[in-house]
Amino acid sequence: MSPPALPRRATFFDGGSDSRISVVAAKPAARRARSTLLTGTIEKPWLSEKDVYGRLAYWITYAVAMLGVIGGALHCYFDWRGIPRLGNICLVMDDEFNTFDTDFTWFQEVDMGGFGNGEFEMTTNSPNNSFVQDGKLYLVPTLTSDVIGYDNVIKGPFTYNISGCTNTNISACGAVANETLGTVINPVMSARLTTQRSHSIKYGKVEVVAKIPRGDWLWPAIWMLPVNDTYGPWPMSGEIDIMESRGNGIDYPDQGIDYVRGSLNWGPLTFLNGVAKTFGWWNTRRSTFADGFHTYALEWSPKFMRFYVDSRLHKMFDISFNEPFFKRGEFPPVIENGSEFIVTPNPWVNGTNATPFDQPFYLIIDLAVGGTNGWFPDGAGNKPWLDGSLTAMKDFAENQATWYSTWPQDIADRAMVIDSVKMWQTC
């Protein structure tokens, strides 16, 4: 590092003296620099000359943005105007479950016949399986073995006849457990309630606020059937499924407890069902439908049907009655009926585009268990039975320890819990 520079010295003689005098030269004063910004004239052409293209671009940008806003608003408005609506509806049923009215509102079906689905439960009128508590209706599945013993359910020989059976077919009122024959008593007791004898609607709205149960092979459902089979036996006269689900966990591969579905069943024959063309679903994220209460709703008019959860934005299924159901089904023109081929019948030939959904329907709320109709597909989720097996119920019953371990011991979680039911009729 260089030493600091020393001040310059000036040497001169002092008149006649012989001595030299050294004087340190004073450092000249620094000159203040003048700002170049203050010198001369600064030109500002934008004040005197207008940029036409710049201003044009400015206005075009804002005009396009404004058009976008107006266009979006018009699109939303016409979409809103285009949504079909019910019009005037009148409340015909409102149950907040302050009491359990089984005299004038709810009919308890008592049956062991499987309801056409090969279901494994029997439905009872026992307060163990359906009751009202704290303003809520509970449908609770229980084990038959808790009542008659496991050996009597599985092995027998034992005959069980259900008390208060409501099915006119006596075969649906009893069962026999016989280990040699491979037959068992229905291993689960549950409940099924309907408004068949009290309330029905033809066009209108239904809202059911409910929480679905947890547990493998539980099948909660809110649905409707026609008061009269105007167009023939099921599915000719139709079926409206507002909500159905599965109690299996979220890891179940065929839509478990985090899914709910809505659908229509209809067809000219029992083996020709158009449900595959009229169904939809809604699912939750990071939760399940057993975590809390949701509103399951149906809106129904001569022109459309709409199924949704909580909000119309959460629609499971929306269908316009813009063509006859027989045409919608695309059924084969000729079918095999026993030993002969026949022309596929059209049971709705004299109806409207809404037929068969142009007649009064009543409401059903039930909690089924298992079944052989395909709702629980074979091979999915370690299913312990095959739908085509003659011993399907026996196979299910023998696996009781496995599936029952997935059912919560807390009744509030194992039950299908209904907070309210409302029905409106178009008026």
User: Is 239 designated active site?
Assistant: yes
Out of 121, 244, 299, 330, the active site residue is: 244
User: Is 323 designated active site?
Assistant: no
**Do the Cβ atoms of 268 and 331 come closer than 8 Å?**
yes
| Phi, psi at 142, each rounded to 5° | -130, 165
Per-residue tokens: 105: 């509102």
Query: Judging by beta carbons within 10 Å of its beta carbon (0-12, 13-18, 19+), is residue 138 exposed, middle or buried?
Result: buried
Out of 109, 119, 239, 299, the active site residue is: 239
Distance of alpha carbon 117 from alpha carbon 368, whole angstroms: 10
348-371: burial string, b at 16+ Cβ within 10 Å, e else: beebebbbbbbbebbbbbbbbbbb
Q: 333: which residues sit within 8 A by CB, 6+ positions away?
A: 343, 344
| Phi, psi at 88, each rounded to 5° | -75, 130
| Phi, psi at 348, each rounded to 5° | -115, 25
> Residue 63: helix, strand or coil by DSSP?
helix
**Do the Cβ atoms of 298 and 266 come closer than 8 Å?**
no
Per-residue tokens: 328: 């919608």
Distance of alpha carbon 186 from alpha carbon 175, whole angstroms: 8
Q: Bridge partners of 204?
A: 300, 425
Residues annotated catalytic, as ranges: 239, 244
